[in-house]
Amino acid sequence: MYFGPGIDSETKSEHWHGTLWGESPLFGDDQIKILEVIYKSGEFIYYHYNNERQLGRLRAILKNANNEYRLRIQEVVSYDNLPEIFKGKVRQERSIAVYQHQYVPETALRITEIIYRYQSRWHIRDVIFSYQHPSDYITLRLPPSSLPVYKLFIDLYYDDFGTYRNVYHSLGGIYLQFGNMPSHERKLLKNYFVLGFVLFSGNFNEFIQPFISEMKEFEQEKLMKVNGQDAWVIADLGVVIADLPQGNDMAGVLRHNIMKGCRTCSVSYNSLTDFNQDLQKILRYHHVTDNQFKEILRENGTSAKKHLGSQYGLRPQPSILDNLKRDRHLQTPQDVYHATAGKIRRLLKLTCELFSREGEDDFIEVWKEFEKPKKWSRLPNPRV
């Protein structure tokens, strides 16, 4: 199992190659000492680039394949370097002060806008339309210097499936993995750990509550025995993998067949095929969704809560998983297979309906000749 900083790799095959591991203090390194000065992930710092002194925010402390440290820094653009169309008196008055040392005081700087390119043009958006850095909502105690530190990345899987062949009774299976394992080990059946089953008409929240309670303890760090020695152990939810409906439930978003049923963005159902949308402004952001949930909960009456929730595409209550330190939208990614398989099945069905009876029979004969995995006894019937 891997315990260490995020790895800067062009090929993203492991969890520690990702942004979440690199930025979150729960999983990767959150500070580094350079010339006797400690820099923490999430802080604003001065750095040198192309022989120029620039200001930026330290986003992640990584290592490369040669075990050399790499710092990922987000540039802070000064007023003088803005495109001319964005310059004005108000922005100039908000421009930053210059400090003579490398470290910028935590309360001295506040980012209010983000400049970005969209459709080959520069745009500015409010900083509220950006993902928070994990250091904005996660703080950890310093571990004892003499103890090894183990940070566990938990993958939680949830899926409903039919128990019987001809009668559908939904049974929810919940199991987990340790994201610290390399991908080839995570594929092994022995490394899937069954948490339990949510029985017919059971309540997911009631079932998962003990797991949430234990995770909250590990978020606060625990002193444990590992291989007979004292160790500092931190564990938290890394990602949640689920089908489209269950994934929306655990992100606090309404099901996918309503007007705003995407757990990643707030695009309306009628605009799903519009490719000219400014994605940065319609993405769902955890802190924005928090405020929307507060608005919903302030409404009087169930019908008023549901009405406002439908406008935002949110459920009346946030997910129980939000009791943990996580970003509900980033850490509940879309399941690619389930997002596309249904559409492919529908396309195949519509294609078969276009055929005449003879054409459909010919298509089925060709279909039977398709190469299939050796373990499959047959290909599924495209008519079904």
**Considering its fold, how many domains does the chain have in total?**
3
Give yes or no: residues 206 and 89 share one domain: no
Q: What is the pLDDT of residues 153-196, one digit of tens each?
A: 999 999 887 776 665 667 888 999 999 999 999 989 899 999 98
SS3 173: strand
Give yes or no: residues 13 and 127 share one domain: yes
Give yes or no: residues 100 and 176 share one domain: no
Q: Is 352 within the bounds of a domain?
A: yes
In this structure, are strands 31-34 and 149-162 parallel, antiparallel, or unpaired? unpaired
If you search the block for the tokens 């039977």, which residue do you land on? Answer: 368
Q: Is 276 within the bounds of a domain?
A: no
Q: How far apart are CA 348 and CA 21, in angstroms?
A: 39
Q: Is 257 within the bounds of a domain?
A: no
- pLDDT, residue 144, reads 80
- pLDDT, residue 380, reads 60
Mean pLDDT, consecutive 10-residue segments, the chain of 384 residues? Answer: 92 92 93 89 89 90 92 88 85 64 62 87 90 91 85 91 67 91 91 88 87 92 88 93 87 86 87 84 94 93 91 92 94 80 78 86 82 66 54
Contact 268, 260 (CB under 8 A): yes
Q: Is 368 within the bounds of a domain?
A: yes
Give yes or no: residues 20 and 115 share one domain: yes
Q: Which of 331, 157, 138, 332 is nearest to 216 (CA)?
A: 138
Query: Could you say which of 205, 240, 275 is where a domain stops?
Result: 240
Query: Could you say which of 195, 214, 240 is where a domain stops?
Result: 240
Query: Could you say which of 118, 136, 154 is where a domain stops?
Result: 136
Give yes or no: residues 90 and 212 share one domain: no
Q: How far apart are CA 148 and CA 233, in angstroms?
A: 9
- pLDDT, residue 167, reads 59
Q: Is 184 within the bounds of a domain?
A: yes
- pLDDT, residue 166, reads 60
Give yes or no: residues 150 and 128 share one domain: no
- pLDDT, residue 17, reads 95
Using CA atoms, how far residue 219 sits from 30, 208, 234, 237, 331, in Å, is 15, 16, 6, 9, 16
Q: Which of 179, 248, 176, 181 is nearest to 208 (CA)?
A: 176
Q: Which of 18, 6, 20 is nearest to 65 (CA)?
A: 6
Q: Is 303 within the bounds of a domain?
A: no
String of b and e for 211-234 (b: at least 16 CB within 10 Å)? beeebeebbebeeeeeeeeeebbb
Q: Which residues, 6 or more positions from 159, have their beta carbon under 8 angstroms from its beta carbon?
A: 172, 173, 242, 243, 246
Q: Is 330 within the bounds of a domain?
A: no
Q: Both tokens of residue 38?
A: 């400690």
Taking CB atoms within 8 Å and a gap of at least 24, the contacts of 53-59 are: 55/96, 55/104, 57/111, 57/133, 59/22, 59/23, 59/133
Q: Is 344 within the bounds of a domain?
A: yes
- pLDDT, residue 271, reads 83
Domain span holding position 110: 6-136
